[in-house]
Structure formats: structure tokens, C-alpha cells
Chain A
Amino acid sequence: MRRYSAFAIAREALRYHSGWGKAWRSPEPKKSYDVVIVGAGGHGLATAYYLGRNFGITNVAILEKGWLGGGNTGRNTTIIRSNYLQDPSAAIYEKARSLYETMSQDLNMNVMFSPRGVMMLAQTQHEIRGFQRTAQANAFQGVKTEFISPQRVKELVPIMNISGPRYPVLGALWQERAGTGRHDAVAWAYARACSGMGMDIIQKCEVTAVNQSNGAVTGVETTRGTIGCKKLGILVAGNSGDLARMAGFRLPMESVALQALVSEPIKPCLDVVVMANTVHGYISQSDKGEFVIGGGTDAFNNYTQRGSFHHIEETIRALIETFPMISRMKMMRQWGGIVDVTGDRSPIISTTPLGNCFINGGWGTGGFKSIPGSGWAMAELIANGQLGPLCAEFGLDRFAEGRFIDESVAAGVAH
């Protein structure tokens, strides 16, 4: 694998960019692997990468029914933050955020991590108390956040109307080192690094059955034939329920649609991410100048990657009060992804009823930010067969024990 560098750009410039080569190989599947990962989203690819990097396990295949990064990883609004309330969440999201800081260097690809700051508006008394409490908790957890005044909000975001008639801005939870990243590049960077370690990324390869004997997985049936494995990792987000059906168990999870949209591009006027949870809307401006906008999930079970129109209307209505200038803007594109929402809105990183099968899912509406931390923990789980410190609390057993991670981590709107 060729390293990307300023020197490489200069060299290629001299020969009409003819020497770049493919970023990853597209091999035929082998008969079997030590580890098969289902799902080449960010979480699947990161898991494979850390299996290789941290545990030296490289006889790995990553199977993807569509194209890599074409699931929620390529559909999200790329907010990265770690200002959660509960200790287990803060730990894994902060691990992920800190890995994002150096990802471009570590993976030798520009993932455009932009720690521009994320502000979560407090628009009710309840939210003021909640966010002040979170800021206190974050101080103990070593996550740098602060509760800021409406005046500070206005300084940071001059285009915001902080005295709206329904929900004036009363303050905000501010995380300065939170921000955004380039979602596709994150998937591509991990894929390139995995391929470079000799792993096989097999696209257009849908898993259709999980083969088992004596309570263990022996391999999977796919649209490209039978592939054997010693260990299986399932990281398919909205399709977790379907993979669990193939494997013969159920999950505390439901799949619903979440949508996002982008506006026409305009000159830079918003250089932080703003989230407004009470009114269900959030907004940031991309490097291209488009406003990237998202809101809440649909309420009903859905696998269509299309959401309901009225949710877009509600999101825009909510944001217009806080950002009056967007009322004149044209929205260019809208899309949906199928997100996997668990009973306590926190993710699952867990062993399963099948001894050598492991699952990672339930990141719901908020798992782009967690990709590196989740992959790190999942690789540890697959390599060692048990939950490491980073994900000890995220096992499926928490639902039987009532040991929930009550966070609304992945709740309808908070990304």
C-alpha cells in the first residue's frame, strides 16, 4: 500500500496522477477465515482494523451486502461529541473522540476531523438543570465541557435568534473539542488500512444464513457462497434484528427510519454544530457551505431507508424559529437510514447465545461518533471472548438485570 503524503501528490502531479492505484483490493472470498465480520460500515471496518492492529489477527473477511460505508455510516450528519452523562458512555465516546483527533495521521488518510465545537441548547428549565448536571459529571469523567450563557451562545453563533417566542435560548452545554468528520473518508480510511494488512473486504456479498453446530457458528451462507469462520462478528446496525433471526435469537432492539437533509450551499456563517433537543433539530454547515440538518426518528418499524415527510417539516419548523435566515433557503437533498434503537437507547456490545458469535449494534441515531471506540472494544471482545473495560457495561445481560445505561444516548434526536 502506497503512503499518501505531500511528496506523493507532487510525484503524481508530475505524471498526470496515473500512479495512485486502488485504495483497497476486491478479492474473491476464501473458503474460510479466522474472523468474519458482517457489515462494512464504520463499526465493522474499525473492528477489523483494531483486530489486526491491536491483536495481530489479520485472517479476516468483512462482508458487505452493498458497498462499503453505504449504510448509516454514509448517511449520517457526522456529529462527533462525548458529553454524555453516564460513566460507561462517556468512557467509550471519549475514547472514540480522542481517536478521531489523530485518525488522519494514524490511518494515513484525511478524515477531515473538525473539532469546531458542539453546542447543545438549553431551551427549558429542565434542560438547564440536565446540562449543568452533565457538565459536572463530565468534569469528573475527564471530558472537557462547560455550561455557557445565552450571550456566549450568541457570540459563537451570531445568526442565531436567542429570544424566540416559544423556546428562547437559556444557555448551552458546550464541548469545544467536539465537531464533525468526513463520514465516507472514515469508512474508506479503515477499509484501506484493513486491506493493507491483508484482510479481505468483500462487497456485494449479502449474508443470508448463519451456519451452526453445537451452539457455535461454523460459517455463513452468502450470495457469494459459503464462507467458514472460527469467530463471527455482527455489526449491521438497522439489520441487526434480521441477522439475529438468522442466528436464532432476538434482540432488545427495533429498526426505525432517521432522516437528514442538506440545503443549497451558502457562504460560511455557522462554524459550530448546534443541537436543539427540545424542538428536535440540529444543524451544522459543511465545508461545501451546505447546511446539514437532522431531526427525530419515525415512530414505526421500517426497513425502507425512507422516512415520513412530516418529520422533515417538523425539523425545519423547529429550526426556523432559532435560525430565521434558513426560512428563505432551498433544501437540496433528503435521505434516510435505518437505525437500530434499543430499549434503553444505549448500544449493545455483547456475547450472544452462540459461543463464538459477537454482536455490536444499537448505536441508533448516534453511532458515527463512536466508530473508533466501538471498533476498539469490539476487537477486544472478539479476540479475548469477553467484554473488556471499555464495554463491560454494554452487554445484553443488562436487560435481564435491569442495569440500564439510562442515557438517551441514541434517542430520537440527540446525536
Chain B
Amino acid sequence: MLILTCPYCGVSAEETELHAGGEAHLTRHATGASDDDLQSYLFYRKNPKGVHFERWRHSNGCGKWFHAARCTMTLEVFGTYSAQTTQPPADLIKKIKQKRPDWEGWT
């Protein structure tokens, strides 16, 4: 079972206590956006085979949304971090690069 540590309340939570929220750090295009921008925000996903940055909600706990970096090939969790950011923290990126030298980066 997948276990993630909630960066807000510090609880190490099992998957059944959490709600998966999909790809993180999407640019939110809204009214006035071009068709291309809107469709990519709403539907197009990186869906990588490897390192994935994603949103989770501690739904059966403190209720907060947070972020996680996880490998979709091995289910290894690299770390979790606050939702109040538009990009992954630099130290987490460094840590992933060390573990996965071939990783092409987060964007």
C-alpha cells in the first residue's frame, strides 16, 4: 500500500486515507484563454513513465491538499511538500536528480 507523509499534519498516511488529485503544477487557463491552452489545462497530461509530481488530499485526516513526487514505474516516493507553491522545491529536485541521473527534469 502506498504511504505518503502529509506535510501539514505530519501523519504518515496510507492510500485509503488519501485522495489522489492528478498532475501537479498545471497552469490554470480560464476565461479568455485560447482553445489550445484551455484543452491542455483541462485534459492533456504528461503521464510520465517515471518521476511524477502530483496532488494529493489528506481527505480522511487534516483535509489539506499537498504535493508529492513519486515514481510511476516503481512507486518510490521521493518526498511530499506544501501545496502553496507553483513548482517543486529545489532540494527535492536535487534529490531526485541524484537518484535518477537520466531524469529529464520536472517541466
Which of A's residues lie within 8 Å of B, judged by CB? Answer: 239, 241-242, 245, 250-255, 299-304, 308-310, 342-343, 399-401
Contacts and interface: CB of A to CB of B under 8 A. Distances in A.
23 contacts: A241-B45, A241-B46, A241-B49, A250-B45, A251-B45, A251-B47, A254-B22, A255-B47, A255-B49, A255-B72, A300-B15, A300-B20, A300-B70, A301-B22, A301-B47, A301-B72, A303-B49, A304-B74, A308-B1, A308-B2, A343-B42, A343-B43, A399-B44
Q: Closest 10 interchain pairs by CB?
A: A241-B47, A252-B43, A343-B43, A299-B20, A300-B20, A400-B35, A250-B44, A242-B49, A399-B39, A400-B39
Contact of B19 (A245, A299, A303, A401): A299
Contacts of A303: 49, 72-73
B52 interface: yes
B15 A308 contact: yes
Contacts of B15: 300, 308, 310
Contacts of A241: 45-49
Contacts of A309: 1
Given A241-B48, A400-B36, A304 B75 contact: yes
A253 B45 CA distance: 6
Given A242-B47, A252-B43, A309-B1, 9 more contacts: A241-B45, A250-B44, A250-B45, A251-B44, A251-B47, A254-B23, A300-B2, A300-B70, A301-B48
Nearest to A313: B16
A250 B40 contact: yes
Nearest to B22: A254
A250 B73 contact: no
Contact of A239 (B23, B45, B49, B52): B49
A390 to B, nearest CB: 23
A401 B35 CA distance: 8
B60 to A, nearest CB: 12
Contacts of A301: 22-23, 47-48, 52, 54, 72
A301 B69 CA distance: 12
Contacts of B22: 254, 301
Contact of B72 (A302, A310, A399): A302
A399 B43 contact: yes
A250 B46 contact: yes
Nearest to A256: B20
Nearest to A244: B47
Contacts of B43: 252, 342-343, 399
Contacts of A242: 47-49
B15 to A, nearest CB: 6
Contact of A245 (B42, B48, B54): B48
B13 to A, nearest CB: 13
A252 B39 contact: yes
A310 B44 contact: no
